[in-house]
Structure 1
Amino acid sequence: MPELQSHHVGLTVSDLDRAVDFYRDILDCSVIAEFEVSGEAFATGVDIEEASARFAHLDGGSVRIELVEYEPPAEGRSVPQLNDTGATHLGLEVENLDVFYEQLPSTVKTLSSPQTTETGTRILFLRDPEDNLIEILELDA
């Protein structure tokens, strides 16, 4: 079997422009690429009839973040919770979690203030404008 290598973490959003603004302006991720995909092969590949999508790839340091806005959009979505079966989140590391937290605009939803776990890792969970969960962490030195 060929060796696997990571390429990206994908997040589906309903408003690509708003999501790109958040990841670029709040999380300081630069845009690597923006493109659109459609056609029968794409619709078959993603198993969504007549699907098309707009994509943005962002530089998240050691991870490429793929934001994707599908047409047609899915109907209804509950706000994800970390303990939901199948729940996902994006994890990004910072050197100083307190400074990061203090510089967050008041409009950014966080689950709590920064916390230190029993392993010594400091964590902060926040939500992007689409309610996707993002963990910002500072590893124990």
Structure 2
Amino acid sequence: MTGPSPQTHHVGITVSDLESTLSFYRDVLGFDVVDRFSVAGKALSEGIGVENASGTFVHLESGGVRLELVRFEPEANESRESALNRPGTTHVALAVDDLESFYATLPDDVETISEPRTTESGTTILFVRDPEDNLVELLES
């Protein structure tokens, strides 16, 4: 490849309930809110390929990662199955120092796939779901 390489700017998650999802990432996972804004108009609609689109965005940061939560109008009616072994499934991965302690502090209403497990590679992992059913991996290596 010639020329400068792209640099990571953010990881984005489209949500239906922005406030509930924001609370999860801010209050449960400890992200800091760094920006909140709305965008509408022809350029957005053309850029995302959705007629008459508008979006409300929240940018959060933790450990040098910027996470973008966005709620779009109009909202698509399509649903997707989110299983880790399904091609196209995505997840956000976050590192913690002590996964067992972190797990012990999770609110009871946070859905987990299992308790923390140490894989053959020596990495301890825990998958949880945010309020929109998106997968979040927490890991300690």
TM-score, normalised to structure 2, is: 0.96
2:24 counterpart residue number: 22
Q: CA deviation at 1:2?
A: 2.6
Following TM superposition, the consecutive aligned residue runs of length 4 or more in structure 1 with deviations greater than 3 angstroms are: none
Note the aligned Cα RMSD (angstroms): 0.8
The partner residue of 2:117 within 115, 118, 133 is 115
Distance (whole Å) between structure 2 residues aligned to residue 106 and residue 79 of structure 1 = 23
2:105 counterpart residue number: 103
2:15 counterpart residue number: 13
Code of the aligned partner of 2:102: F
Contact persistence 1:79–1:131 (CA under 8 A): no
Q: Secondary structure at the match of 1:23?
A: helix
The partner residue of 1:93 within 95, 113, 122 is 95
* Consecutive unaligned residues in structure 1, runs of 5 or more: none
Which deviates the most, 106-115 or 58-67?
A: 58-67
Percentage identity across aligned positions?
51
Question: How many residues are matched?
Answer: 139
1:132 counterpart residue number: 134
**CA deviation string 1:31-76 (max 9, x = no partner):** 0000000000010001111110000000121210000000000103
Code of the aligned partner of 1:114: P
Distance (whole Å) between structure 1 residues aligned to residue 136 and residue 37 of structure 2 = 24
1:65 counterpart residue number: 67
- 1:51 maps to 2:53: yes
Distance (whole Å) between structure 2 residues aligned to residue 6 and residue 124 of structure 1 = 25
Distance (whole Å) between structure 2 residues aligned to residue 18 and residue 37 of structure 1 = 20
